[in-house]
């Protein structure tokens, strides 16, 4: 059996610069670029590699974000045969690899991906189940007046261009108090079936139906700031949602309810009904639009540091059976 080592990569990425996050789509996703970056540093360019080197690296992210969603700090586990490298054997070796990765990414897709850190972890560490909690932030940019709103709809300003891919730009009338009132409805243990993108095709091919039972630790609101250009057009808000795990599209559907209630477009009873009737088709059946992806940022994935070296429980990975 080949001796391997597993590494935890900490990455950030700009979702607007990729068609998707996960592998298996166009081949130009976040995970594709990470894979090619690390592979090139270990084995050279593709035409220089031996046949057995093409598939010996394995990657798996802790959180698979939707297309156009950003990450400030996401985690990815990588399995590498020890015969090829020990990425963090010494601080000097690690620094050299970090420098190579940055150079490769800057040349291939500038500003798209950053590898913040890498360190080895126990074989019993699980990138998903060992998580303590995940923290997401959704950015809202609320226009300050109807006059401004009509003006920028006809002719977007430079500030609008700067926020286009990084916030949900909204008209006047937003109520922070109402958003917090609705947010409290989500906190605690909830069956998030109504907030789960779970298609009929997926249901047919799943051997086990995934659980929609989640525990929302916190829904909060704070003042935000401009993404890159200070301006007098928008007021900024950050909505923070914290939980150990989420179902697919859960946060964007939650944000749709929070924002629509803040504008008095839906009653609070609608939020309660969706929580009390956890059926995945409810959003579509009720005609509620899903919040756009560009305002959503995966802010952090948090682990107990002891899980890196002495995980309890000690998990088996699907890679262990290969």
Give the chain as a 3 state SS string.
CCCEEEEEEEEEECHHHCCCCCCCCCCCCHHHHHHHHHHHHHHCCHHHCCHHHCCCCEEEECCCCCCCCEEEEEEEEEEEECCCCCCCCCHHHHHHHHHHHHHHHHHHCCCCEEEEEEEEECCCCCCCCCEEEEEEEEEEEEECCHHHHHHHHHCCCHHHHHHCCCCEEECCCCCHHHHHHHHHHHCEEEECHHHCCCCHHHHHHCCCCCCCEEEEEEEEEEECCCCCCCCCCEEEEEEEEEECCCCCCHHHHHHHHHHHHHCCCCCHHHHHHHHHCCCCCHHHHHCCCCCCHHHEEEEEEEECCHHHHCCCCCCCCHHHHC
Beta strands 234-243 and 131-143 are antiparallel
| pLDDT for residue 309 | 94
| pLDDT for residue 86 | 84
| pLDDT for residue 3 | 78
Residue ranges per structural domain of the chain? 4-121, 132-300
| pLDDT for residue 82 | 82
4-121 with 132-300: one CATH topology?
Answer: yes
CATH classification of 132-300 is 3.30.70.660, yes or no?
yes
| pLDDT for residue 206 | 65
| pLDDT for residue 2 | 62
Beta strands 131-143 and 168-170 are parallel
CATH classification of 4-121 is 3.30.70.580, yes or no?
yes
Report the distance separating Cα 300 and Cα 187, nearest Å. Answer: 19
| pLDDT for residue 165 | 98
| pLDDT for residue 47 | 64
Tell me the Ramachandran region of residue 27: left when phi exceeds 0, alpha when psi lies from -120 to 50, beta otherwise. Answer: left
HSE-up (13 A, CA, CB side) for residue 194:
20
User: 92 exposed, middle or buried (CB, 10 Å; 0-12, 13-18, 19+)?
Assistant: exposed
Location of structure tokens 């700067």: 162
Tell me the pLDDT of the chain (322 aa) as tens digits: 467 889 999 999 999 999 999 988 899 999 999 999 999 998 888 766 776 666 788 999 999 999 999 999 999 999 998 887 789 889 999 999 999 999 999 999 999 999 999 999 999 999 999 999 999 999 999 999 999 999 999 999 999 999 999 999 999 999 999 999 999 999 999 999 999 987 666 666 666 778 899 999 999 999 999 999 999 999 999 999 999 999 999 999 999 999 999 999 999 999 999 999 999 899 989 999 999 999 999 999 999 999 999 999 999 888 877 6
């Amino acid at each position: 059996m080949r001796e391997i080592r597993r590494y935890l990569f900490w990455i950030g990425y700009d979702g607007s610069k990729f068609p998707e996050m996960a592998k298996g789509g166009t081949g130009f996703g976040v995970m594709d670029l990470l894979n090619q970056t690390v592979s090139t540093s270990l084995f050279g360019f593709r035409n220089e590699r031996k046949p057995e080197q093409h598939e010996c690296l394995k990657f798996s992210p802790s959180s698979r974000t939707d297309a156009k969603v950003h990450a400030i700090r996401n985690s990815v586990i990588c399995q590498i045969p020890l015969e090829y490298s020990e990425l963090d054997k010494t601080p000097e070796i690690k620094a050299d690899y970090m420098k190579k990765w940055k150079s490769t990414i800057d040349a291939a897709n500038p500003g798209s991906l950053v590898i913040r850190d890498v360190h080895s972890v126990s074989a019993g560490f699980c990138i998903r189940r060992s998580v303590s909690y995940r923290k997401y932030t959704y950015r809202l940019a609320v226009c300050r007046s109807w006059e401004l709103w009509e003006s920028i709809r006809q002719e977007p300003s430079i500030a609008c261009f700067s926020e286009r891919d990084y916030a949900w730009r909204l008209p006047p009338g937003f109520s922070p108090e109402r958003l917090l009132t609705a947010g409290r409805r989500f906190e605690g243990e909830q069956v998030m079936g109504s907030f789960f993108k779970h298609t009929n095709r997926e249901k047919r091919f799943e051997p086990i139906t995934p659980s929609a039972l989640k525990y929302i630790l916190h829904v909060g609101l704070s003042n935000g700031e401009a993404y890159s250009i200070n301006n007098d057009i928008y007021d900024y808000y950050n909505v923070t949602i914290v939980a150990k795990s989420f179902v697919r599209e859960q946060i964007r559907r939650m944000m749709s309810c929070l924002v629509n209630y803040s504008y008095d477009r839906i009653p609070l009873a609608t939020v309660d009904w969706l929580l009390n009737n956890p059926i995945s088709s409810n959003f579509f059946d009720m005609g509620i639009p899903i919040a756009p992806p560009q305002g959503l940022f995966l802010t952090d994935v948090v682990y107990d540091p002891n899980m890196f070296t002495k995980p309890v429980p000690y998990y088996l990975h699907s890679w262990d059976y290969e």
